[in-house]
Structure 1
Amino acid sequence: MLISIISIIYFVIELYIAQHTYGRHPRNFTILMISLPVLFFSCGRVGSLLLNTIFLVILLIDGYVTYTCKLVVDSTLDAIIGTNPHEAASMLGMVHWPAYIVAFLLFCGVATLSWRLGRWNGRMIMIALIPLLLSGFHDIWKVYSNIKPFMTTTWSDRGYREWMASILRNNAPGVMGDIAYIGVIISEQTGIADRRYRVIPHTMTDPQVIGRHAGRVHNIIFVMGESSLATHYSVYGYKEQDTTPNLQNMTTTKQLCTLSNVHSNANMTRNSVPMTFSFQTPENRGALVDEKNIIEMAHDNGYKTFWISSQEGTGVYARPFGYLSEYSDYTTRSDYNNQTSGVNWTDESLIPALADKLQDPAEYKLYVIHIMGSHGRYEDKIIRSDVEALPNADAYDQSIHHTDSLLQRIMAMAAADLGDYTLLYTSDHGEVVGVGHALQYGGYDQYIVPMIIHDSNGRGTYCDMAEHMRNQDGYYTSIMNKYLLLNMLGYDIDPAAIKSVQSTDHILHSDAKIYDYSKLPTAQHPH
């Protein structure tokens, strides 16, 4: 009777998880739910205690992620794999305390019953293992059958393990499929990073580039924000709090311009950042590793490049933008070359490194500053002055205020040390406040971003250029960032290529599928 209660708990949580994935696997689900409790309780007291409690913890974590994201896709698991200890602790702080109480009570109950009811029974272990092993071998064979025709050297360098892991997950139910996916990715994570994202010079220039001249802007600063929703910026009309007093003042005094109706082309950092700093698009993801990126293009035209980041750049999730950063003449991140710079996960730690590199005597320079911005847990991204300035605001609005102050400091430093410079600020993606991003059914908030330009060459030059780069539906999209940068760097782009981009408005969603921006998937219309 008591074992049946635990089996029902497993069944309910596992069914919920399985129903919120793309795979549909009633055969495997039935085998798993019948066999696993029998197996666990037949492994003796110690075995039963360990297996049941570990499985329950994984179930609860996976169940919570599923509840938050509504649909767990491969990219969701990639993000979990790429989470560093600080980010993990920070995100756990966003979980409401009643959830911890329920989880603790369940854990204690299952642990107690596992110890009391666990008995060694070799015969039952064999009976439970046979269907599990047969089902597992069947799934592995299906994976092999799917990938065998594509197992060429070139294709394997493009991440065949991710596809293999994805197929395996789609054939296994719920938490077991998620465990299988994570296991495959982690086991080969180093190999993928070394082979696919090796930092070697590219020889191919994208055919959109049709000419080159001397750099048009001597000093370029690109600040890439994080999880920043434009509708929470007072400079964009937000009325609840004065979140951006510095940006508002600089707009009023005509030191910068703000573009309205701006959206990112992806709702995840790993997909969005490469669309600004390489020729990657939703339709052409291979351009990131096949062609010269924007950093290389800057080198080719005489620019010295700097990438200063409070974000990490290793691991399966972060490697696409970490890879780009390492093409710079100088790179420092929270996980790379930071012994001297002192850079860590806080955005304030970037200021000393930036102050030092602003003194570089090179005539032409490109600075990329990649910040943590408003990534959850929001309370970790603010300091006392933000709370004092907005005492009645929530932590997310205070984090926007923090970014506003950071931008003001960067601009003051640039004005003092560089004199002539152009600055662009945007965010990798938006945020569903209090929930997150990379959500399958998260809607438009996770795409809406700010776009702010300070142009020393005349306030209208790049503001006007950006306005003329809007798509046919009226939106400026983050894909256009690269064209602004290339113009500053002295390159000419084929007008027909830009018109082709403007003719559509596609985004790369969290399920790695391409959607028209006007037709984002919803729970009612998942496409």
Structure 2
Amino acid sequence: MHLSLALPRPTGGLRPWLNLAALATLSCALLLLDDFLQQLYTSNNRAELELSYVIVLWLFSAALWLGNLRALTVGVLLLFAAMQLMQLANISFFGEPLSATDIQSLLNDPAEVSQTARHSLAQHWPALLCVALPYMALLVLHVRLPGRVALPASRWALVLIALVLLAKPYRATYRNLDSFAASPNRSALHNSLNVFSAWSVRLAFRDGVELPPTPYAPYQLSAVPSTAKHVWLVVADSLRTDRLGLFGYERNTTPQLSSYLKQHPSAFVRPGIAAGVATDVSLPYLLNPIREPGKDQLLRTGQVNQFRFAQQAGFRTHWISSQESKLLAHLGSRYLDVSITREDHPLRFLQRQDRALLDVLDQQRWAERNFVVLNLRTAHLPYAQNYRHESRPMPWPDSGPDGQSNAYDNSIHYLDSLLGEVIADFDKLEGERYLIITGDHGQRLGEGGYWGHNDLVPEVSNIPMIVVARDAPEQAMNEFARERWISHYEAGQWLAARLGTRIDNPNLRADEYFVHGKLLFTDNFIQRVCETPGGLVHQAPEQLSMLLVQPPASSCLENAGKG
């Protein structure tokens, strides 16, 4: 049998092509419908339309009609329906999109999943209806209409179908799981294509490492009085302490911050220690204050989530980011009142980069109490790209042998001007208020020929902590200012108290910190960092599985002389 890939010869004039366009539009709408149906009964689904994704989905829908292979189309739609049933059920039950590791966990324990599904069906059955209605309609259309409605046909459509279905699995062969993190603001089908592709390539049919149970005791949470009106957290990407002028760097990369701190002696700066070496690791551990390795369940449940604490205390919660919405994975997006990312204003962020974030900030209408997290990208590679739109010249030339290092300093100088405006907006507010400015992680800047992050080395865990307060009790600041170094965990614990929740950690050891490697929910590498009289001692990284079996027997203080 000969399979022809020749272009179709139109028969019947323009009508078949108009029919194709109409059916592709209807099919595309039905593929998007499950999100909107779920949004009718739960706020857990926060999907928003993305123009580029809708265009691809429309072309894919047209290709299914143009291909005119009924068995293939039915198979694809049934596959999508199965993925979406798992996805929407997870969103309904947990409030978060499904991840690749979630899929593996579900398949590893089918008995527990089945029992949970039976007991929760009465509450979450609408998820089944949200999938059944559009996909039944699509199946009926594709089974009954071909042959009854004039349509063009071409086997070239199979190429587009293959590209759409295989592109993400191919990408998963050379990218890690965190590159396929689900975004709460994306279409559920878009998330499903991402995470099921990553799971099928990276996790399916493989014997994963089963991590030992964590030896660390659970945290104790208690409500505490909070009179704060505004709590702001600013997280700048790839911010390294020793390249900031206010920390003694030879170049004045932070003129505005340095000037501000001189005028306001109640504000203070400290060197900090990041919780992880990658944004999608450090942000979850900062916004879910977790100190010890192996307590991943706290990330999944949101038990210690800052946005949750804020909502419980009556704060309006805001996430404003110049980066992609996928970073919201495991940040507690279900507790957000306002979520604005680069994808909400793509053209504005493309033209103005992080300065567009200030435009969005100025448009906010604050409630009586607000918890605000701002996420900037300014100092991320490629550094020069982040400030190219600025009309003013940068202090240092970003070409030549030192160009990349100079570009990083320029990006910090540009960031300094943005942070000056953020602080000015913060100072306009009234009442007791707190602001922390920090980095998600540090950066290698040519040491040993290496650039970027993701490595467990001191340069990458090296971040600043800048703390500002207004109309605040002295005790709230004094207890924090006494620290010599401030870790992400300590900053998160302090912020939680400002948001009305005290975290008591029975595992706490003085002057001991943990920095997590570049992946979540795997047998990650963990670096123990000890604070000693002579400075920080970074111990050799250990795999999580080994660390859980044999946690450090002695505290950092006991080992101070051994560093």
Same fold (TM over 0.5): yes
- 1:91 maps to what in 2? none
- 1:505 maps to what in 2? 513
Q: Deviations over 1:117-154 (max 9, x none)?
A: xxxxxxxxxxxxxxxxxxxxxxxxxxxxxx89981149
Alignment of 1:228-377 (within 5 A): 228-239=239-250, 241-254=251-264, 257-281=267-291, 282-292=293-303, 293-314=305-326, 318=327, 320=329, 323-325=331-333, 327-335=335-343, 337-338=344-345, 342=348, 346-357=353-364, 359-360=365-366, 362-377=367-382
- 1:41 maps to what in 2? none
Question: What letter is aligned with 2:360?
Answer: A
| Alignment partner of 1:411 is 2:416 | no
- 2:65 maps to what in 1? none
| Alignment partner of 1:218 is 2:229 | yes
Question: What letter is aligned with 2:425?
Answer: M
| Cα distance change of structure 1 residues 445 and 216 upon mapping to structure 2, 3 Å threshold | same
Instruction: Answer yes or no: is the 8 Å Cα contact 2:178–2:280 preserved in 1.
Output: no
- 1:433 maps to what in 2? 445
Moved more, 208-217 or 369-378: 208-217
Structure 1 residue runs without a partner (length 5+): 1-146, 158-175, 196-205
| Cα distance change of structure 1 residues 153 and 223 upon mapping to structure 2, 3 Å threshold | farther
Instruction: Answer yes or no: is the 8 Å Cα contact 1:276–1:480 preserved in 2.
Output: no
Query: How far apart are residue 505 of structure 1 and its match?
Result: 1.7
TM-score (norm 2): 0.52
SS in 1 for 2:363: helix
Q: Deviations over 1:89-108 (max 9, x none)?
A: xxxxxxxxxxxxxxxxxxxx
- 2:526 maps to what in 1? 514
| Cα distance change of structure 1 residues 462 and 187 upon mapping to structure 2, 3 Å threshold | closer
| Cα distance change of structure 1 residues 242 and 288 upon mapping to structure 2, 3 Å threshold | same
Q: Which of 449, 456, 470 lines up with 1:456 in the alignment?
A: 470
How far apart, in 2, do the equivalents of 1:149 and 1:366 lie?
34
Structure 2 residue runs without a partner (length 5+): 1-103, 115-168, 183-190, 197-216, 399-405, 530-536, 542-546, 548-563
How far apart, in 2, do the equivalents of 1:183 and 1:515 lie?
20
What is the total number of aligned residue pairs between the two structures?
Answer: 335
How far apart, in 1, do the equivalents of 2:177 and 2:421 lie?
44
- 1:422 maps to what in 2? 434
Among all aligned residue pairs of Structure 1 and Structure 2, give the percentage whose two residues are the same amino acid. Answer: 19
Q: Deviations over 1:270-315 (max 9, x none)?
A: 110111111444331221112331101110110011110001122x
Instruction: Answer yes or no: is the 8 Å Cα contact 1:212–1:490 preserved in 2.
Output: yes
More helix by share: 1
SS in 2 for 1:273: helix
Query: How far apart are residue 246 of structure 1 and its match?
Result: 0.9
SS in 2 for 1:286: helix
Query: How far apart are residue 194 of structure 1 and its match?
Result: 7.9
Instruction: Answer yes or no: is the 8 Å Cα contact 2:397–2:407 preserved in 1.
Output: no
Q: Deviations over 1:166-221 (max 9, x none)?
A: xxxxxxxxxx99964649998997339889xxxxxxxxxx9635432443310111
Query: How far apart are residue 375 of structure 1 and its match?
Result: 0.3
Q: Which of 370, 381, 386 lines up with 1:381 in the alignment?
A: 386
| Cα distance change of structure 1 residues 209 and 343 upon mapping to structure 2, 3 Å threshold | farther
Instruction: Answer yes or no: is the 8 Å Cα contact 1:386–1:399 preserved in 2.
Output: no
| Alignment partner of 1:390 is 2:395 | yes
Question: What letter is aligned with 1:365?
Answer: N
How far apart, in 2, do the equivalents of 1:427 and 1:456 lie?
22
How far apart, in 1, do the equivalents of 2:300 and 2:527 lie?
23
Alignment of 1:471-486 (within 5 A): 475-486=485-496
Query: How far apart are residue 253 of structure 1 and its match?
Result: 1.3
SS in 2 for 1:449: strand
Query: How far apart are residue 506 of structure 1 and its match?
Result: 1.5
Question: What letter is aligned with 1:455?
Answer: A
CA RMSD of aligned residues (A): 3.9
TM-score (norm 1): 0.56
Query: How far apart are residue 437 of structure 1 and its match?
Result: 3.5
Alignment of 1:29-178 (within 5 A): 151-153=108-110
